[in-house]
A and B are shown apart, each in its own frame.
Chain A
Amino acid sequence: DQQVKQNSPSLSVQEGRISILNCDYTNSMFDYFLWYKKYPAEGPTFLISISSIKDKNEDGRFTVFLNKSAKHLSLHIVPSQPGDSAVYFCAARAGGATNKLIFGTGTLLAVQP
Chain B
Amino acid sequence: DAGVIQSPRHEVTEMGQEVTLRCKPISGHNSLFWYRQTMMRGLELLIYFNNNVPIDDSGMPEDRFSAKMPNASFSTLKIQPSEPRDSAVYFCASNFGEGSNQPQHFGDGTRLSIL
Contacts and interface: CB of A to CB of B under 8 A. Distances in A.
A99 interface: yes
B76 interface: no
A45 interface: yes
Consensus secondary structure, chain B interface: strand
Interface string B86-107: 0000010101011101011111
B50 to A, nearest CB: 7
Interface in B4-41: 4, 31, 33
Interface string A31-58: 0101010000111111001010000000
B4 A43 contact: yes
B101 A106 contact: no
Interface in A95-113: 96-106
Interface in A6-30: none
Determine the interface band of chain B, counting residues with CB < 8 A from chain A: 20 to 34
Contacts of A45: 106
B106 A98 contact: no
Interface residues of A, number: 23
Nearest to B95: A99
A96 B99 contact: yes
A89 interface: yes
Nearest to B100: A99
A105 B103 CA distance: 18
A98 B108 contact: no
A100 B106 contact: no
A68 B95 CA distance: 26
Given A102-B45, A105-B42, 9 more contacts: A34-B103, A42-B109, A44-B91, A51-B101, A99-B31, A99-B99, A100-B45, A103-B42, A106-B42
Interface of B: 4, 31, 33, 42-45, 48, 50, 55-56, 91, 93, 95, 97-99, 101, 103-109
Interface of A: 32, 34, 36, 41-46, 49, 51, 89, 96-106
17 contacts: A41-B108, A43-B108, A43-B109, A44-B43, A44-B106, A46-B103, A46-B104, A89-B43, A98-B56, A99-B99, A100-B45, A100-B48, A101-B104, A103-B42, A103-B43, A103-B44, A106-B42
